[in-house]
A and B are shown apart, each in its own frame.
Chain A
Amino acid sequence: DIQMTQSPSSLSASVGDRVTITCRASQGVSNYLAWYQQKPGRVPKLLIYGASTLQSGVPSRFSGSGSGTDFTLAISSLQPEDVATYYCQKYDSAPFTFGPGTKVDIK
C-alpha cells in the first residue's frame, strides 16, 4: 500500500506569513490528492481536491499544487482562524490513506 508523509509535523508562523506544507506519497498518485483542515475539537473540512481544485467556499488564500508523489498546500497570508491541523489524503485507489497531519499555530 502507498504510504503518505507530511512535513513539517508542526509549524508556528506569524499572522500574514506565507505557510507551506508538503505531502509526499511513497508511489505516484497522479493528482488524486485532497487536503483537509481540522480545527481543534471540530470535524475535518475539505479544502482542496484534485491536488489543486479549491472546494466551494474555501478562502482563496489556500492553494494546492503538485502531482505524482510530491504535493504542497500553501496559505498565502496566515490568519488566526487558520490555526488547525492539516491532513492530505490520497484517493487514486483504496485504501484511501491520510497523511499524519501538520499542526499550524500562530507565533
Chain B
Amino acid sequence: QVQLVESGGGVGQPGRSLRLSCAASGFTFSDYGMHWVRQPPGKGLEWVAVISWNGRHNYYADSVKGRFTISRDDSKNTVYLQMSSLRAEDTAVYYCAKDPPGGSGYYYGFHDYWGQGTLVTVSS
C-alpha cells in the first residue's frame, strides 16, 4: 500500500534553514510528480511546491519562491523540501502528497495520497 512518511520538522529560527524529507513506498516513485502542501495551525491548506516525475520541472507558490527548493532522489524514493530564510508565517504542518496516475504532462496537480505531516515551528 502507498505510504508517505515525512520527517525533519521541528523548531527553526527565523532566517535559518530546515530540510524536510518524505520517504515513499508502495508505488513506483519515479513515475509520479510529488508535492508539498502546508497547513498553518487552525487554518486552511496551502499548496507549496511540485516536482515533476523526472525531477526536471518544478513550480512554487509565490509565498515560498526563492526561499524553498523541492528536490527528489529516486534511488532513495524520497522527496525533499529545503526551507531557507524561514519566517514566522512558515509555521505549519507540512504534508507531502503524490500525483494520481494518469497524468500526461510533467505533473498532474491533485493528490490521491498524503503523508501524515510534519510540524515546522519558526520561532526564536
Contacts and interface: CB of A to CB of B under 8 A. Distances in A.
A72 to B, nearest CB: 17
A87 B47 CA distance: 12
Contact of B110 (A38, A49, A93): A49
Contacts, number: 61
Which secondary structure dominates where chain B touches chain A?
loop
Given A46-B112, A96-B110, 20 more contacts: A32-B109, A38-B45, A43-B95, A43-B117, A44-B45, A89-B47, A91-B109, A91-B110, A93-B109, A94-B107, A95-B47, A95-B59, A96-B35, A98-B37, A98-B44, A98-B46, A98-B47, A99-B44, A100-B44, A101-B44
19 contacts: A32-B109, A34-B110, A34-B111, A43-B95, A43-B117, A44-B37, A45-B114, A46-B100, A46-B110, A49-B100, A87-B44, A87-B45, A89-B47, A94-B109, A96-B47, A98-B46, A98-B47, A100-B44, A101-B45
Interface of A: 1, 32, 34, 36, 38, 43-46, 49, 55, 85, 87, 89, 91-101
A99 B45 CA distance: 8
Contact of B112 (A1, A43, A55): A55
A103 to B, nearest CB: 10
A93 B116 CA distance: 26
B61 interface: yes
A99 B109 CA distance: 14
Given A44-B45, A100-B44, A95 B61 contact: yes
A66 to B, nearest CB: 15
Nearest to B97: A44
